[in-house]
């Protein structure tokens, strides 16, 4: 049985989306390969004159690049960043990220829907980062989102699945892939999200702030794969009271 993640018609074997921020270029390749990631996010920033290191040279060739629109405070700015990124000729995937709130870095769902609609019509495969809200998720799908990326907790916090119940509602009700993005801190939390039925998990800070970054990428890759298998297998039921023996209750030696 082939279990693949499909986004915008493109198929992926890995369900680990890796953010490339906060670690040195020299280890990017090792982190990507250890995690088994097939999608890597990037940001767009001002270039410096005089030549400088180019992150694209450190990312393996078969990786799908997912530029984000970080820095955008409005839909208009996000659209401009996405179009600039596409001009670099690295595909048409984009993670829409519109943030006005500078304390908690929460996404502006309203501006995100607007940007998603414009970019989807413009031929982008749009993956919007959002605060988990069912109505907004439905609006994003109507606007042409190829996936919906709800936050687990504030960006970079490593606090885990604070919004678990609301993400579960999105998993249950939304037809496009639900990808948990932001706030996942431990492989066990990524595994738990996958067990819930989310299609993929995106991590950056949890990996980048580990003592051994490539090893943590491997741990996340394994946890995400494990959680996916658990979801496909169907979790065993829970007894709220009493117990049930795992071993047979007949044929004891003293019978």
Partner 1 sequence: MRVNGKEMTLGNNQSLLQFLAANQFDVVTLAVARNGEIVPKPTYDSVMLCEEDTLEVVRFVGGG
Interacting residues with partner 1 (CB under 8 A) = 19-23, 25, 28, 41-52, 54-56, 65, 67-68, 70, 80, 83-85, 87-90, 155, 182, 202, 204-205
Residues known to be catalytic: 95
Taking the C-alpha atoms of residue 29 and residue 59, their distance in angstroms, rounded to an integer, is: 6
Given the DSSP bridges, would you call strands 179-181 and 10-12 parallel, antiparallel or unpaired? unpaired
In the complex, what is the shortest distance from the CB of residue 208 to partner 1, in angstroms, rounded to a whole number? 9
Q: Which is nearer to partner 1, 137 or 149 (CB)?
A: 149
In the complex, what is the shortest distance from the CB of residue 146 to partner 1, in angstroms, rounded to a whole number? 19
**Does an H or E element contain 179, and which?**
strand 179-181
Q: Which is nearer to partner 1, 149 or 198 (CB)?
A: 149
In the complex, what is the shortest distance from the CB of residue 232 to partner 1, in angstroms, rounded to a whole number? 27
Burial 135-152 (b: 16+ CB within 10 A, else e): ebbbbbbebbbbbbbbbb
Q: Which is nearer to partner 1, 65 or 148 (CB)?
A: 65
Q: Which two tokens stand for residue 92?
A: 């048409």
Region of residue 163 (phi > 0: left; psi between -120 and 50: alpha; otherwise: beta): alpha
Taking the C-alpha atoms of residue 82 and residue 113, their distance in angstroms, rounded to an integer, is: 14
DSSP secondary-structure letter at 99? B
In the complex, what is the shortest distance from the CB of residue 173 to partner 1, in angstroms, rounded to a whole number? 26
Q: Which is nearer to partner 1, 58 or 169 (CB)?
A: 58
Burial of residue 99, with CB atoms counted within 10 A of its CB: 0-12 exposed, 13-18 middle, 19 or more buried:
buried
Taking the C-alpha atoms of residue 83 and residue 96, their distance in angstroms, rounded to an integer, is: 12
């Amino acid at each position: 049985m082939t279990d693949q993640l499909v986004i915008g018609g493109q198929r992926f074997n890995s369900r680990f989306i890796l953010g490339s921020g906060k670690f040195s270029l020299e280890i990017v390749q090792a982190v990507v390969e250890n995690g088994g990631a097939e999608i890597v996010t990037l940001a767009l920033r001002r270039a410096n004159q005089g030549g400088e290191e180019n992150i694209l040279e450190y990312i393996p060739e078969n990786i799908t690049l997912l530029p984000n629109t970080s820095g955008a405070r409005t839909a208009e700015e996000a659209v401009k960043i996405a179009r600039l990124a596409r001009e670099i000729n690295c595909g048409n995937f984009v993670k829409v990220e519109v943030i006005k709130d500078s304390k908690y870095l929460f996404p502006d769902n309203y501006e995100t829907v607007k940007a998603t609609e414009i970019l989807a019509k413009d031929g982008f495969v749009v993956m919007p980062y959002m605060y988990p809200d069912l109505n907004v998720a439905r609006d994003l799908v109507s606007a042409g989102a190829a996936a919906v990326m709800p936050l687990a907790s504030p960006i970079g916090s490593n606090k885990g699945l604070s919004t678990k119940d609301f993400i579960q509602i999105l998993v249950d009700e939304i037809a496009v892939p639900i990808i948990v993005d932001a706030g996942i801190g431990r492989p066990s939390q990524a595994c738990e999200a996958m067990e819930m039925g989310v299609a993929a998990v995106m991590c950056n800070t949890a990996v980048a702030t580990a003592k051994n970054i490539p090893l943590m990428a491997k741990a996340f890759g394994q946890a995400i794969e494990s959680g996916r298998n658990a979801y496909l297998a169907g979790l065993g039921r829970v007894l709220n009271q009493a117990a049930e023996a795992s071993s047979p209750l007949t044929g004891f030696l003293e019978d």
